[in-house]
Amino acid sequence: MARRRGHPTLLRLPRLPPVPPLPGSVSAWRRPAGIPLPPPPRRRVGSDLIYLLFLACWIKKERTPPSRMCAKLGGVVRSALDWIGSRRVRIHQPRYNANAFGLQRNFLVFHASFPMKRLRGQELGGGALGNNHAPSGVGYEPSGLAALADAAVYYASTRTVPQQSRAEISLSLDVLRRRAPIRLLVFGLGHDSRLWHALNPGGVTVFLEEDPEWYRIVRAKSPFLRAHLVTYRTRMEHADLLFDSYKNFSSCVPGAGAEAADAPVQVRDNAACPLALHNLPPEVYENEWDMLMLDAPKGYFASAPGRMAAIWTAAAMARARRGEGDTDVFLHDVDRKVEKKYAEEFLCDMFRVGRAGRLWHFSIPPVSRRGNTTASGGGKRPFC
């Protein structure tokens, strides 16, 4: 066929078939015609994730540039795969002729090769933690590798992104790499809830949310998350008053009225302390949490609950820990006055071990291993 002068011949490639609804097994997906992908490694579990990520980044072409979105997704998922046991992770971003496709598309292809036995039998409520540490109604679905694939597709195909930045997420991920599977308590449901659930395979991840409408929306999209609707007694407009007067309540101060000056403070049924979250679901008190993520409740208007009670409760739980190791506490939005003030008072600067953006990381030892630090500090900061 004669070619017009000055106009190159366009490369005609087969049209992609319509994307079918996600079946029960990710293995049921078929590869689009005309797009070569490397063969999966033998006896490895990476091919399904490769194709799911490819499809997700291919479909996501509206509003958000695919290259930027896929690059952001790639950093998080690549770190997660490394942590789970990946031996080799490579990223391939081919650029195709924009004229041929109508739009220049970049996508990620993960060559993830890690043994399936690392995740076999690591259902939530079993595995390394044991059934006695799992919440009621054990057996999250999906879990393990399936949860990572599910989270990858979700974030690649949605216009919303997690509230935390990549640097902030990476700070928490470093702890998960070392300690997982763990018992993780997250204050707040959000766009990043699937991420925290997926990054703790084989562990216990529980979410606490105070907004009934937001709770309903998130649970409708992610029914497999273990989440509870909770209430707070505090209000942001009372934050300064609570801070100045909490020492007047013996139930709020460690060791007050006890034989030992360094005795842990009670949280459960401690209604006398205005900062104590005394009416949480029983499983919150019955577990010792290895990591707490404080990214809720709301704290940017006067009638909002604020994070005063969440910070005090996290500090009290960390002090009362009886198991091995310290408690890792992450507090978001420390650029705000109340969060910073309460963190310095209850989580303590001496236990702050990291920072990224608006996120602070505290590693708090139990009071049984640090001795009577309250007496040595003159009682100015009873929690420190």
Helix 66-84 / helix 145-156 crossing angle, nearest 10 deg? 170
What are the C-alpha distances in Å from 100 to residues 97, 113, 153, 293?
Answer: 5, 32, 26, 46
Q: Please name the amino acid found at residue 167.
A: A
Q: How confident is the model at residue 15 (pLDDT cuts 50, 70, 90)?
A: low
Q: Which residues of 157-184 are buried (b: 16+ CB within 10 A; e: fewer)?
A: eeeeebbbebebbbbbbbbbeebbbbbb
Q: How confident is the model at residue 160 (pLDDT cuts 50, 70, 90)?
A: confident
Tell me the C-alpha distance between 113 and 46, whole Å.
6
For 267: left if phi > 0, alpha if psi spans -120 to 50, otherwise beta; the answer is alpha
* pLDDT for residue 130: 45
Q: Is the pTM of this model over 0.75?
A: no
pLDDT tens for 200-239 read 988 999 999 999 999 999 999 999 999 999 999 999 999 9
Tell me the C-alpha distance between 110 and 47, whole Å.
9
Report which secondary-structure segment, H or E, holds 207: strand 204-209
| Proportion of the chain above pLDDT 90, given as a percent | 47
**Helix intervals (H) in 276-323:** 282-286, 308-319
Residue of 343, 297, 291, 336 lying closest to 318 (CA atoms): 291
Domain with CATH 3.40.50.150 in the chain: 135-376
Backbone torsions φ then ψ of 308, nearest 5 degrees: -60, -50
Q: Choose between 10 and 224: higher pLDDT.
A: 224
* pLDDT for residue 76: 53
Tell me the mean pLDDT in the region 184-191: 96
Report which secondary-structure segment, H or E, holds 241: helix 239-245
Tell me the mean pLDDT in the region 168-181: 93
Tell me the C-alpha distance between 333 and 355, whole Å.
11
Burial degree of 110 (CB within 10 A; 0-12, 13-18, 19+): buried
> CA angle, corner 373, sides to 371 and 379, nearest 5?
145
* pLDDT for residue 73: 55
- Residue 58 tokens read as 């291919």
DSSP secondary structure code for residue 91 in this structure: E
pLDDT tens for 99-122 read 333 322 332 333 332 233 333 333
Sheet holding 291-294, edge to edge: 226-229, 204-209, 183-187, 291-294, 327-332, 359-364, 352-356
Top-level class of domain 135-376: alpha beta
**Residue 239, SS3?**
helix
- Residue 23 tokens read as 């079946």
Tell me the mean pLDDT in the region 291-309: 97
74-78, 207-211, 293-297, 304-308: least confident range: 74-78
Helix count and strand count (H, E) for the chain: 13, 9
Neighbours of 112 (CB within 10 A): 29
Q: Choose between 152 and 85: higher pLDDT.
A: 152
- Residue 319 tokens read as 């002090």
Backbone torsions φ then ψ of 161, nearest 5 degrees: -130, 160
Tell me the C-alpha distance between 307 and 298, whole Å.
7
Average pLDDT of the chain is 73
- Residue 225 tokens read as 């998350």
Contact 196, 218 (CB under 8 A): no
Contact 10, 100 (CB under 8 A): yes
DSSP secondary structure code for residue 132 in this structure: G
